[in-house]
Chain A
Amino acid sequence: MTQSDRPASSAVAVPDAAGRDQFALLDVVGVSKSFEAVRAVDDVSVEFKGGEVHALLGENGAGKSTLVRLIAGDHGPDSGEIRLDGEVLHLAHPREAFRRGIACVHQTPAFVLALSVTENLFLGLPFDQRRGGMIDWAAEHRAAEDALSRVGLSLDPHMRLADLAPHERQFVALARALQHNPRAMLLDEITAALPKPEVQTLYEIIRHVRSRGVAVVYVTHRLEEVFDIADTATVLRDGKVIATEPTRELNERKLTEHIVGREISKVIPELQAATSEPGSGAILTARNVGDGHTVAGVSFEIHPGEVLGIAGLAGAGQTELLRLIFGAEDLAEGEMLLEGKPYSPKHPAEAIERQVAMVTEDRHTDGICKNLPIWQNVTLPWVARFRRNGLLRLGAERRTAAERANRFRVRMPSVDASMGQLSGGNQQKVILAKWVPGAPRLLILDEPTHGVDIRSRYEIYELIRDLAAEGVGIILASSEFEELEILCDRVLALRFGRVIAELRGSDVNEHLVLSTLLATDSSAKEEDGVVASHASP
């Protein structure tokens, strides 16, 4: 294999002894890109310097992802140019960008799940280790192990990717991107699925990469990450650059204002502390419930108007527990009572009949139907209610859906638009709009703000609050512990499918939740040597 097949080693951007070498390694100059009539990126110029972490922020639809794709060679710009080391790039294919030393890691890395970690690591690249013209797999696996160790991942590279937990896959993607000493790294919301401790590991890797003079472009929705890791931040809004500033001159408030384009006080409503007194009589009582593999022996009660949080590290069984309550998984052990009556749904339809609703974690696999217009997504669980003489009254249905979508402040061209035209935050609001008007007694929320921009996020918080105030019982699983702190009256800490602690009142705060989970988690590792591989369902 010739050297040219692999990305050039960093010949220029060697940091000098004094510290960082700060020239514009990756230079975006006046770049525009339109899709149909919409200018996704509008005359954007940004300098990404070597040895610097540069955060890219903005609401969903602000143009971040498009900009990243332009740099990665997924699209060509309509006008303007992208320069690497002063040389204009003409990228016809992402592969070319990779060869030139631009490595990209996405929120949902694309892998061939049926293949091994090693195969996925080197897929599409020439397999280097040969013996007599054949691939020397032993050597490839060793090389893979090396690459994994660089991102702090120790696992058998023979494992199929399908058997890895989501956060492990994310690190494999990172290892893949790092293999050939990239000049620039594009990290596109890669923390969205990462639990906090893994985020720390990620930071260490990023700092290390930065110290080698790489330009790191860091796309995120989480503001605190900007201050944790970024040196510079650029905010995009409506495809334009609103500001590029060193993070030390920024604060969260200022950043939010840049992102949203209004004063923050008008954006973030005063979220009052939960005022509703938990009513008497539990809505849901769970006694020693389990699904037979991931979740076991979970007991809790939830009262009207109460927001019960479920916290856990990746793969601790939160999703499984919620799906169990909703009838999407079979109840293998224990029993549940809904408003005092036995409740063991075998199918979500039975849960819905009992006025239980669930907002799922992954919009794409089980949240929305992209082939249906927005209005039909909104009414999907209740469509039978619009029947008269056996036929649907489409007009009434559509009007009702429009009303709901508007109440939930879905920003859309029209209710007839397809779901694919909405940004993630708005898709999420459609999903909420779908459930809430069914007058649920119990609303189950699994990561309701995943990949949702800040304004939508606060709108969703408000909605949750409103519902609780109306007496709905709410179960909320979130990997963002700040969210639990803002919203929850109580939090159950889950480890390996079991409740290890219950936090109440002032104990419900981000730090205590995290330390509870961490303390037990590390001791657990010592006890039984279980690593996170336990996580994948």
Chain B
Amino acid sequence: MESSPHTQAPSREPEAPSQESAPRRRRRRFDAGAWAPVLFFVFLIVFFGVVEPEDFLNTGNLTSILNNNATLAIIALGLTVVLLAGEFDLSVASAASLGGAVGAVMVANEGLSTEVTFAAVIGLGLLIGLVNGVLVTYFQIPALIVTLAVASILDGFTQLITNNEIIFAGFSDTFVDLGGWKLGDVQAPVFYLAGIAILLGIALRYTATGRHLHAVGGNRGASRMAGIRVNRHIILAFVISGTLAALAGMIYTARQGSLTPLFGTSFLLPAFAAAFLGSVTLRRGEFHVLGTVIGVYLIGTGTTGLLIVGGATYTQQLFAGAVLILATAGSRVLGRGVGLRRQLGFGRRRSGRGDGDASMPPGRSAEDGPPPGGA
């Protein structure tokens, strides 16, 4: 970022094409880069379909991919909101674990009703998000640190309340039904996912709050000067993320009908990978709901396919890790990298009052670059 002075910063104004002289071009060309993940998705299906036509390409398998990844997708959607607002949430997996654990303990061990349990888990998610958000905004602690620490604390609580033992007996029917009902072969979590995705998609695009979240993710200083309460929006993003994660954890547990403590840990990397992959899917360098959902199912399809063709379990981890790196690299190369650089710790942090860093040369970021990247 702030490299040596003589690797010169591009001057302030990218020489924007002079609009008057430039012949009016067609505005929206087919954007191969942004469609690449979709093409890759299609390629995966075709590839596994050709290699394992019977085991992979049958309705049962495809439906189970759909069912198995729905809770992960719900977590990834919450994460998407935080990433969109320019922050980071490493606690989603642990929030899911704890959400599931609290659900299981309340229903199975304490015999509490599903309604009360449901409310408690939602409350827990809200609280986690609130703590994350307040620490990040009002205490100005980097989200990376806050959510890492909170994740560890949540995992501690999970082990505490479950004695680190699997809970498999004592679930009430109503609780199991929460995650277990189906329509045809499609299970409940998929419908929850659909509902949440639609609501979130609408909220982000068609509400003032959604717009403000985008603005906050783009430029906090400008957002604040436009009268947006930046901190509140960041807290809101964390609350959405914490709540969806805890909810997803409970749904997952209900669907399984049993609880393995810390089951959520394995969701962390795929959730990030999916969100980042989503940010370069169909749009360039912007986190969005549809992208994240596509990202989740691309990864889900890839890992399931690898299992079916006989790959060991570790190949799934290789796959998810590789996708995360490729997606991030892709968004650096293709997109304007909005948000990404800052989230990965390269960019300036909030530029609110008394910000010593606000004077950092703005010209050094990818989005300011000369036209190949920027225009």
Q: Spell out A's residues near B (CB within 8 Å).
A: 35-38, 40, 59-66, 68-69, 72, 74-75, 93-95, 98, 103-104, 106-113, 120, 123-125, 162, 166, 173, 176-177, 188-189, 192, 238-239, 323, 326, 328-330, 347-349, 351-353, 358, 360, 362, 364-372, 376, 380-381, 383-384, 387, 390-392, 394, 411-414, 416-418, 420-424, 426, 434, 451, 537
Q: Are B351 and A366 in contact (CB under 8 A)?
A: yes
Is B136 close to A, CB under 8 A? no
Q: Which of A103, A123, A189, A353 makes the CB contact (< 8 A) with B11?
A: A189
Chain A residues positioned under 8 Å from B212 (CB to CB): 383
Bound complex: CA A103 to CA B3 (Å): 16
Q: Are B12 and A418 in contact (CB under 8 A)?
A: no
**B351 closest partner in A (C-beta):** A365
Chain A residues positioned under 8 Å from B219 (CB to CB): 365-366, 368-371
Task: Write the nearest CB–CB distance from B31 to chain A, whole angstroms.
Answer: 13
Interface residues of B in 320-375 (CB under 8 A from A): 336, 338-339, 348, 351, 353-354, 356-364, 367-368, 370-372, 374-375
Q: Which of B2, B24, B224, B361 makes the CB contact (< 8 A) with A366?
A: B224
Q: Which of A328, A416, A423 makes the CB contact (< 8 A) with B27?
A: A416
For this complex, 25 residue pairs linking A to B, each with C-beta atoms less than 8 Å apart, are A36-B372, A65-B10, A108-B12, A124-B5, A124-B7, A125-B4, A166-B359, A176-B6, A188-B11, A189-B12, A349-B228, A358-B225, A362-B221, A370-B219, A370-B338, A383-B208, A383-B211, A384-B208, A391-B207, A411-B20, A413-B22, A413-B27, A420-B16, A423-B15, A423-B18
Chain B interface residue number, banded: 35 or more
Which 7 A-B residue pairs are closest in the complex by CB-CB distance?
Answer: A124-B4, A35-B371, A366-B221, A364-B362, A38-B17, A369-B218, A371-B218
Q: Which of B22, B27, B226 makes the CB contact (< 8 A) with A414?
A: B27
Q: Are B226 and A380 in contact (CB under 8 A)?
A: yes
Q: Are A74 and B12 CB-contacts (below 8 A) given A111-B2, A392-B211?
A: no
Q: Are A113 and B357 in contact (CB under 8 A)?
A: yes
Q: Are B15 and A65 in contact (CB under 8 A)?
A: yes
**A179 closest partner in B (C-beta):** B6
Q: Are A420 and B336 in contact (CB under 8 A)?
A: yes
Interface residues of B in 2-52 (CB under 8 A from A): 2-25, 27
Q: Which of A36, A60, A362 makes the CB contact (< 8 A) with B375?
A: A36
Task: Write the nearest CB–CB distance from B361 to chain A, whole angstroms.
Answer: 4
Chain B residues positioned under 8 Å from A94 (CB to CB): 6-8
Q: Which of A74, A108, A365 makes the CB contact (< 8 A) with B358?
A: A365
Chain B residues positioned under 8 Å from A188 (CB to CB): 11
Bound complex: CA A95 to CA B4 (Å): 10
Bound complex: CA A192 to CA B13 (Å): 12
Q: Which of B226, B351, B374 makes the CB contact (< 8 A) with A381?
A: B226
Chain B residues positioned under 8 Å from A392 (CB to CB): 205-208, 211
Q: Are A66 and B15 in contact (CB under 8 A)?
A: yes
Task: Write the nearest CB–CB distance from A451 to chain B, whole angstroms.
Answer: 6
Q: Are B16 and A69 in contact (CB under 8 A)?
A: no
Chain B residues positioned under 8 Å from A239 (CB to CB): 18, 21
Task: Write the nearest CB–CB distance from B160 to chain A, whole angstroms.
Answer: 40
Chain B residues positioned under 8 Å from A110 (CB to CB): 2-5, 7-9, 361, 363-364
Chain A residues positioned under 8 Å from B363 (CB to CB): 106, 108, 110, 364
Q: Are B371 and A38 in contact (CB under 8 A)?
A: yes
Q: Are A381 and B227 CB-contacts (below 8 A) given A38-B22, A40-B17, A420-B367?
A: yes
**B23 closest partner in A (C-beta):** A37
Bound complex: CA A368 to CA B227 (Å): 13
Is B223 close to A, CB under 8 A? yes
Bound complex: CA A166 to CA B357 (Å): 12
Q: Are B359 and A424 in contact (CB under 8 A)?
A: no
Q: Are B6 and A329 in contact (CB under 8 A)?
A: no
Q: Are A420 and B368 CB-contacts (below 8 A) given A107-B12, A108-B9, A368-B219?
A: yes
Q: Spell out B's residues near A (CB within 8 Å).
A: 2-25, 27, 202, 205-208, 211-212, 214-215, 217-219, 221-229, 285-286, 336, 338-339, 348, 351, 353-354, 356-364, 367-368, 370-372, 374-375
Q: Which of A93, A103, A326, A328 makes the CB contact (< 8 A) with B7?
A: A93
**B337 closest partner in A (C-beta):** A371
Q: Which of B13, B351, B354, B370 makes the CB contact (< 8 A) with A424?
A: B13
Chain B residues positioned under 8 Å from A177 (CB to CB): 6
Q: Are A124 and B3 CB-contacts (below 8 A) given A166-B359, A365-B221, A412-B19?
A: yes
Supplied contacts A35-B375, A328-B225, A369-B219, 8 more A-B pairs, CB within 8 Å: A60-B16, A162-B356, A176-B6, A328-B353, A420-B375, A421-B16, A426-B19, A434-B226
**B209 closest partner in A (C-beta):** A384
Bound complex: CA A62 to CA B16 (Å): 8
Task: Write the nearest CB–CB distance from A294 to chain B, whole angstroms.
Answer: 11
Chain A residues positioned under 8 Å from B4 (CB to CB): 110, 112, 123-125
Task: Write the nearest CB–CB distance from B225 to chain A, whole angstroms.
Answer: 5
Bound complex: CA A348 to CA B207 (Å): 21
Bound complex: CA A40 to CA B11 (Å): 15
**A380 closest partner in B (C-beta):** B226
Bound complex: CA A259 to CA B338 (Å): 34
Chain B residues positioned under 8 Å from A537 (CB to CB): 354
Chain A residues positioned under 8 Å from B228 (CB to CB): 349, 380
Task: Write the nearest CB–CB distance from B150 to chain A, whole angstroms.
Answer: 27
Q: Are A418 and B5 CB-contacts (below 8 A) given A110-B363, A364-B362, A365-B362?
A: no
Chain A residues positioned under 8 Å from B358 (CB to CB): 362, 365-366
Q: Are A123 and B5 in contact (CB under 8 A)?
A: yes
Chain A residues positioned under 8 Å from B7 (CB to CB): 93-95, 110, 124
Bound complex: CA A40 to CA B6 (Å): 23
Q: Are B375 and A421 in contact (CB under 8 A)?
A: yes
Chain A residues positioned under 8 Å from B222 (CB to CB): 360, 365-369, 380
Q: Are A69 and B370 in contact (CB under 8 A)?
A: yes
Chain A residues positioned under 8 Å from B224 (CB to CB): 328, 347-348, 366
Chain B residues positioned under 8 Å from A124 (CB to CB): 3-7
Q: Are B225 and A366 in contact (CB under 8 A)?
A: yes
**A379 closest partner in B (C-beta):** B211
- Among B4, B223, B361, find the residue whose CB has the most chain A CB atoms closer than 10 A: B4
Bound complex: CA A103 to CA B227 (Å): 42
Q: Are A62 and B11 CB-contacts (below 8 A) given A326-B225, A369-B218, A381-B227?
A: no
Chain A residues positioned under 8 Å from B229 (CB to CB): 347, 349
Chain B residues positioned under 8 Å from A192 (CB to CB): 12
Q: Are A74 and B27 in contact (CB under 8 A)?
A: no
Task: Write the nearest CB–CB distance from B178 to chain A, whole angstroms.
Answer: 29
Q: Are B11 and A329 in contact (CB under 8 A)?
A: no
Bound complex: CA A424 to CA B208 (Å): 27
Bound complex: CA A120 to CA B359 (Å): 16
Bound complex: CA A417 to CA B4 (Å): 32
Bound complex: CA A468 to CA B228 (Å): 27
Task: Write the nearest CB–CB distance from A379 to chain B, whole angstroms.
Answer: 8
